[in-house]
Amino acid sequence: MKKAHRIGLLAAALHFFCLSFANAQLTTLPDGGNKKASVTERIGITDITLNYNRPGVKGREGKVWGQLVPVGYAEIGTGATKSVPWRAGANENTTIEFTSDVMVEGQPLAAGKYGFFILYDPSECTLIFSRNSTSWGSFTYDPKEDVLQVKVKPVPMNNEVERLKYEFMDEKENSATIALEWEKLSIPFKVEVDYVKTQLESFRRELRSDKGFTAQSYIQAAQFCAQRNVDLNEGLTWASQVADNPATANFPGLSAKADILALQGNTTRADSIMKIAMAMGNMQEIHLYARQLLVEKRPKEALEAFKYNYDKHPNVMMTNVGLARGYSANGDYKKALDYLKKAQPMADNLNKDNIARMIPVLEQGKDIN
């Protein structure tokens, strides 16, 4: 019995070893030499990631679109349907992932990871986003798993792209165009994000983490609200977290609170807080605050801040340049030129170049800001 038991154990071990060996795969090039690729770019604070395989044209010019990539569905399915779209790449299916909700060609798509397929047509392609992102190619494609379909126009290209790739183009704060490019054809689609919404959601989340234990985090969130004129009530709460605490009150926190109060129409309270802030601010803080007022198209207030800074720190390069900017923004180019020339001999090489560039602008009676 003992001998038979040992033989049985040995046979089981050999069986397990053979199965494991048969299933083992060494790392080699993908089938057909198609290269694996991944591209991630950020729109606003939303990360978009494409994982795909890059087939090559390999001398098949004129035979890619409409032949290698069929028009319409291909009858190669092995799952729920025989008719399947192109996998938008090679080998395992292409995936696209969004870290926040987006709009694709004006249609909403929730944050998440999707299988990405294309139904090719020379006049209009259909892009398919599927909740199934783990299959091999499109062989088991199931239309019931489609989350979104959008139609886009393919665009001919002059230059040939040997290996399929995805490019991010026409990038803006809230949007970008993503284009599949292969051979001499591009299939572009626009992705948009609500940057302000996702940024505020991120602030709320991060301020509940360890980042919420620093005054700078609350100031940063409040300044965003003031600069964008959004979510002012919550921005005021964030600014007050710093400004109302004697242990943390500082120029950035107080000025952020004053800015928000001014935007809400409470100018008397805003002016009162700003006087306290100015007394606490250093030369650079006040200068940057005045520059921000210029950005916000508040030139008279900016000039007052530049004057205050000059009175506290007279005859230094920064405050002379500040007054030059302040007077220029208010149309007094003669005074602006006087202060800019005073700043010139005090400047380092970089600032001398900037001043030299601004002087002829003022001489022509134009604003330097």
Kindly report, residue by residue over 163-188, the tens digit of the pLDDT.
Answer: 999 999 999 999 999 999 999 999 99
Q: Is residue 19 part of a domain?
A: no
H-assigned helices in the chain: 2-23, 195-206, 215-228, 232-243, 251-263, 267-280, 283-295, 299-312, 317-329, 333-343, 349-363
Distances (CA, A) of 162 to 14, 39, 91, 165: 48, 18, 17, 9
Domain's final residue, options 158, 193, 228: 193
Q: Is residue 2 part of a domain?
A: no
Residue 257 domain boundaries: 196-363
> For the chain, what's the residue count?
369
| Count of CB atoms situated within 10 Å of the CB of 297 | 8
Q: Is residue 41 part of a domain?
A: yes
Q: Is residue 204 part of a domain?
A: yes
Domain's final residue, options 133, 158, 193: 193
Same domain, 94 and 221: no
Same domain, 76 and 147: yes
Q: Is residue 17 part of a domain?
A: no
* pLDDT tens digits, 237-254: 999 999 999 999 999 999
Nearest to 192 by CA among 100, 127, 126, 112: 100
CATH number of the CATH domain containing 317: 1.25.40.10
SS3 state at 101:
coil
Domain count of the fold of the chain: 2
Q: State the Cα–Cα distance between residues 98 and 50, nearest whole angstrom.
A: 9
Same domain, 145 and 228: no
Same domain, 200 and 169: no
* pLDDT tens digits, 270-303: 999 999 999 999 999 999 999 989 998 999 999 9
Same domain, 226 and 304: yes
Q: % helix / strand / coil in the chain, to the nearest 5? A: 45, 25, 30
SS3 state at 81:
coil
Model-level pTM? 0.81
Structural element, H or E, at residue 130 = strand 125-130
Contacts of 358 (CB under 8 A, 6+ apart): 324, 340, 368
Same domain, 331 and 272: yes
As a whole-number percent, the residues of the chain with pLDDT over 90 amount to 84
Residue the block writes with tokens 């704060």: 173
SS3 state at 282:
coil
Q: Is residue 18 part of a domain?
A: no
Q: Is residue 15 part of a domain?
A: no
